[in-house]
Amino acid sequence: MKKLILLSFIWFSIFSYTQTKERDNRLVGSWQGSEKGNQEGVAKYWVQQRYNDGTFLLLFVAVPDGEEGSAVVDKGEWWTEDGKYYELHYNTKFIDTYFYEILDDQHVKFRLVQSSRDFNNSEYEFIDTKLIDGLDYHNSRD
């Protein structure tokens, strides 16, 4: 009986962990974006690779007016649900939430719903532009 309970617990744990989150596959690929003016005195630039397994790699550069910029490389997990895009950043463990709208095959508009960071702008939005279609280096390394 103990073995049955233990096996049931292990099976339930594995099943719960492997449940896949919903993902809009139109967001998979290499994307770039930039924005200035959504946060006073800071320009931002980024390149992000979203993989079809739900992970991402992000290179993010922030340049305050008149100062030298700083770059951050971040990894995380992304998914979509009910018209919202979610991004879990592994380095901070925070989840950013955006409404997203596919404008065409090459452009996606994001509007902030919730973030752990202080944006000082309730209307924070940006557009990502697709760089490379069909690149999937992450899953072809095996």
Look at residue 36 in the predicted model and tell me its pLDDT: 84
Q: What 3-state DSSP class applies to 104?
A: strand
Look at residue 50 in the predicted model and tell me its pLDDT: 96
What predicted TM-score, i.e. pTM, was given to this entire model? 0.74
Backbone angles phi, psi at 69, to 5 degrees: -80, 165
List strand residue ranges (DSSP E) for 3-137, in order.
29-36, 42-50, 55-64, 70-81, 84-89, 95-104, 107-114, 125-132
Residues with Cβ within 8 Å of residue 132, at least 6 apart in sequence: 29, 30
Look at residue 2 in the predicted model and tell me its pLDDT: 54
One digit per residue, the tens of pLDDT, for the chain of length 142 reads: 555 454 444 444 444 444 568 999 999 999 999 988 776 788 889 999 999 999 999 999 989 887 877 888 999 999 999 999 999 999 999 999 999 999 999 999 999 998 766 555 668 889 999 997 555 455 544 4
Angle in degrees, CA 111, 64, 128, rounded to 5: 30
Among 92, 108, 89, residue whose Cα is nearest residue 100:
108
